[in-house]
Amino acid sequence: MRKFIAMALAASALALPALGHAQPLEALDAADSGDTAWLLVSSALVLLMALPGLSLFYGGLVRAKGFLAVAIQLGAIASVTSLLWIAVGYTLAFGPVSNGWLGGGSAWMLLQLGNVREGTLVPESAFALFQMMFALITPGLMVGAWVDRARFGWVVGFCALWSVIVYAPVAHWIWGGGWLASRLGTMDFAGGIVVHTTAGVSALVAALLLGKRTGFPRTQMLPHSPALTLAGAAMLWVGWFGFNGGSSLAATDDAASAIINTHAAACAAALAWLAIEKFSIGKPTSVGFATGAIAGLATVTPAAGFIAPGAAILFGIAAALVCYPMILLVKRRLEIDDSLDVFAVHGMGGIVGSLLLAVFLEPSLGGVGYNEGMGLVRQLIAQGAGVGIVAGWSAIGTVICALAVAMVIPMRVTEDEEREGLDLTSHGERAWEFE
């Protein structure tokens, strides 16, 4: 018995160093469970926007014979960009900072992720997941520019290449500690520049490269289901709470403030859009309400966590006042067939919000204040430079990606295929046969 007790005490003594070593490892795990849960929920909300939300919003705006083609394109884009994000996108955007142009390549295939993302209380895996949702929805926004005429294979190849050449570097420049944020002081809370400016400008360039739909602008191409568009806009509105609220990376009053501002801007923009329609065409429309809400959401995105609710209302009104006439300019005056107004709504919304941010950061206007060494003028220069540089890079990158893929896969379907409808000619199905 004494021998057994002695052996047990010796084993316990040998185990003490191991137990002592376990404590520091546990202390390193500083992730906050509440913040982590909020980030996971926000990731799901952004995916809700990207797949059913955008599919219904865009799908309702096209002719019935192109609804399924829109949905399939969005699904394929989400799939291919997600895999690329895991393989190379995340490390290019959020890998270790070196020269400020691209992140270091230590996290290929999401290997060697940190226990907790630096500067947050969430696991780096949760952070990478949340950022993956932004990477997949951004090229998805561009689908609205080429509906009814882009070849499916080209769409998938173009968006895959674009996500690596355009999106990942821009995300690093502003969100990953890159040169626009660290040297110029450019700010973007949740994607006014990284998401909406890149997608909007690239969509406009892609529309120019693809050319007009057959019959545009003479033939009126009415949406086949405004009801689906309204349902999609509602999903986008809900999902945007995760898009902007989740960008605080914490379940705190910062997230609540961002969500309040997001909602206020959407409400103000939707009502302002209806008022503009009432005066311009004589009656408010359901598509107008949906479009106005999305414009407001895009416009407040770069500033959602930095401004006061009163400022967010002004952002929404500004969205309607700028984006509505921009649709008329692009389609009627310039006759550019950006089919579902991606540039006019998302691009211009993100640009306007990014510039207004410089003004409404002012504490006397309810903003969170400027970073050290910055003021109204310097911040406005930083925002303008950020928008201009990203817009230019997006345009150049879009031309490179589009033409590179077009060397292998033609950009457009034939005129006969377009006339018959992409649901049938590209995918062998017709949604409207089952209505």
Question: Is the model's pLDDT at 15 over the cut of 60?
Answer: no
Q: Are 51 and 74 in contact (CB under 8 A)?
A: yes
pLDDT at 2 over 90: no
Q: Is residue 1 part of a domain?
A: no
Q: What is the pLDDT of residues 169-211, one digit of tens each?
A: 999 999 999 999 999 999 999 999 999 999 999 999 999 999 9
Residue 3 lies in a domain: no
In a domain, 25, yes or no: no
How many residues appear in the chain? Answer: 435
Domain that holds residue 320: 34-434
Could you tell me if residue 248 is inside a domain? Answer: yes
- Please give the mean pLDDT across all residues of the chain: 91
For residue 354, pLDDT over 80 is answered with yes
Residue 419 lies in a domain: yes
What are 97-147's pLDDT values in tens digits? Answer: 999 999 998 899 999 898 999 889 999 999 999 999 999 999 999 999 999
The amino acid present at 245, given as its one-letter code, is G
**Token pair 């780096």 is at which residue?**
124
DSSP bridge partners of 323: none
**What's the CATH code of the domain at 63?**
1.10.3430.10
Determine, yes or no, domain membership for 11.
no
Q: In three state form, how does the secondary structure of the chain look?
A: CHHHHHHHHHHHHHHHHHHHHHHHHHHHCCCCHHHHHHHHHHHHHHHHHHHHHHHHHHHHHCCHHHHHHHHHHHHHHHHHHHHHHHHHHHHHHHCCCCCCCCCCCCCHHHCCCCCCCCCCCCCHHHHHHHHHHHHHHHHHHHHHHCCCCECHHHHHHHHHHHHHHHHHHHHHHHCCCCHHHHHHCCCCCCCHHHHHHHHHHHHHHHHHHHCCCCCCCCCCCCCCCHHHHHHHHHHHHHHHHHHHHHHHCCCCHHHHHHHHHHHHHHHHHHHHHHHHHHHHCCCCCHHHHHHHHHHHHHHHHHHCCCCCHHHHHHHHHHHHHHHHHHHHHHHHHCCCCCCCCHHHHHHHHHHHHHHHHHHHCCHHHCCCCCCCCCCHHHHHHHHHHHHHHHHHHHHHHHHHHHHHHHCCCCCECCHHHHHHCHHHHCCCCCHHHHC
In the predicted structure, residue 26 carries a pLDDT above the cut 80? no
Segment 56-80 mean pLDDT: 96
Does residue 18 sit within a domain? Answer: no
Listed residue (198, 147, 53, 197) closest to 338, CA to CA: 147
- Whole-number pLDDT of residue 31: 87
pLDDT tens, position by position, 251-286: 999 999 999 999 999 999 999 999 999 999 999 999
Q: How many domains does the chain have?
A: 1
Query: How many other CB atoms are there within 10 angstroms of residue 74's CB atom?
Result: 26
- Count of beta carbons in the 10 Å neighbourhood of residue 405: 22
- For residue 6, being part of any structural domain is answered with no
Which of residues 418 and 54 earns the better pLDDT score?
54
What pLDDT is recorded for position 421?
86
Confidence of residue 6 (pLDDT cuts 50, 70, 90): very low
Q: What is the pTM of this model?
A: 0.91
